[in-house]
Structure formats: structure tokens, C-alpha cells
Amino acid sequence: SYIPNIEVMKAAYPVMPVLAIENVEDAIPLAKALVAGGIKVLEVTLRTEAAMEVIKAMKTVEGAIVGAGTVSTTQQLDELQAIGCDFAISPGATDALLKHGKKIDMPYLPAVSTVSEVMKAAEYGYNEFKLFPASIVGGAGLLKAISGPFPAFRFCPTGGISSADYTDYLALNNVECVGGSWIVPADALKAKDWAKIEQLAREAVAKAKA
Ligand code: 3PG
């Protein structure tokens, strides 16, 4: 797993931007700004034409740990492994993905939104999950409830989380990082304001560690 230990993970990678990048030329300056600001784990969603090229470009930035998001097919898992992607994340899970995710040589994080989905993914050998869409399916309250019967399972919640509540999630002992699009505001990306993005990253990490 790319998450070696929850305390290490929380300390080193507490916030993970969920990115949808249209322009490949933004990839390197964006990744450099985030890494400089202390955010090293980046989720590049496969929601744009450019996504695969963006992942390859970001992988050239020293210190960046670049994964793919919105992974919905086993073929995408194979393609991502072939380009050297660091990890893959899905917004949900299927039997095919759960099975294939355990066969490939790249960390794969399936998503859950219910206790039964957690139990099913656990049958395939998973103990770390994305919770999606976190704010809609129960948020921090749901994660706290799951830690009762399943204290060993770890989560990265995303979906509807904001600068106002991400620390509520990080305070939970079964949450290792939080993700979301709020970390890189669309207007700053559009304006290619890398200095602002670096500053926002630095603030997000500082608040997470406080
Ligand atoms: C995801 O794929 O994790 C979500 O789209 C991120 O959700 P957010 O845009 O509400 O942060």
C-alpha cells in the first residue's frame, strides 16, 4: 500500500487535491506549486482528455506522488500501471475492479459509501478505502460509526469536503487523509496563479497539522 502507517500518512500527506486538468501545459507548474506548498500526493482524475498526459508530466516533478482518480475500468488500471502512475482511486467499486486491483502492481484504492460495501471490499482483501461522496453519505459521523465494528479500516474521504470542515475528518482516528477539489480553486488554476496555489497549499497543510 502507498499508505504505510496512518500517523506517517497523516503527518506527511494530510490533504490530497482532486484535480481535473484540461491543459497539459498546466501539469508541471501546478505540481511544482503544490509540492512547494507541502502537498505531495496528487489525484489526477481521468475526466479530461489530457489526464494521462498530465499524469506523465506531473510524474517528472521531483517529490510528487501522482495518482489517477475516477478510475472506472480494469483497462484503465492496466494503462495507468503501464505509464508508471503511483496509485489509482475509483469513485466506487465493482467486482471486476476489486479483483483486478489486487492483481496489479500499483496501489489501488476503491471507494465505498456504505458498511456493506466496506465488508464486500474487505472480502477481496482491502482495508483502506475512499469514502465517496463523503459529505452526502454521512460524513464524519458515518466514519466514526464504522470505526466501532471495524476499527482497523482506514479511509480517505472525498466529495463535498471544504476548507471549513476538512479538519473535522482528519481528527478521526480512521481517517488518513482528506481529498477534494477545494484545495485548488478553479479560478486560481484558470488564472495560472501558481504562487497563490502554492500559498493555499501551504495554508491547507498548516491547518491540517495544527
Ligand atoms: C472526487 O472525485 O473525489 C470528487 O469529485 C471530489 O469531490 P469535490 O469536488 O466535492 O471535492
Domain definitions of the chain by residue range: 6-209
What local confidence, expressed as pLDDT, does residue 6 receive? 57
Neighbours of 12 (CB within 10 A): 16
The DSSP annotation for 172-198 comes to STTB--EEEGGGS-HHHHHTT-HHHHH
pTM value is 0.94
Q: What is the mean pLDDT of each run of 10 residues along the chain (210 residues)?
A: 55 90 98 97 97 98 96 98 96 98 95 98 96 98 97 96 96 94 96 98 93
What local confidence, expressed as pLDDT, does residue 155 receive? 96
What local confidence, expressed as pLDDT, does residue 210 receive? 83
Q: How many residues does the chain have?
A: 210
Which atom of ligand 1 is nearest the CA belonging to 70?
2
**27-36 vs 51-58: helix axis angle to the nearest 10?**
50
Q: What class is the 6-209 domain?
A: alpha beta
- Mutate which of 166, 181, 182, 183 for ligand 1 pocket (most atoms within 8 A of beta carbon): 181
Distance CA(137)–CA(39), nearest Å, equals 27
Distance CA(101)–CA(112), nearest Å, equals 15
ipTM of this complex prediction, to 2 decimal places: 0.90
User: Active-site residue among 32, 40, 59, 130?
Assistant: 130
User: Active-site residue among 32, 43, 176, 198?
Assistant: 43
Residue 108, beta-bridge partner list: 88
**Which residues lie below 8 Å from residue 60, measured CB to CB, with a gap of 6+?**
28
What local confidence, expressed as pLDDT, does residue 209 receive? 85
Which string of b and e fits 159-194 if b means at least 16 CB within 10 Å? bbbeeebbbebbebebbbbbbbbbbbeeebbeeeeb
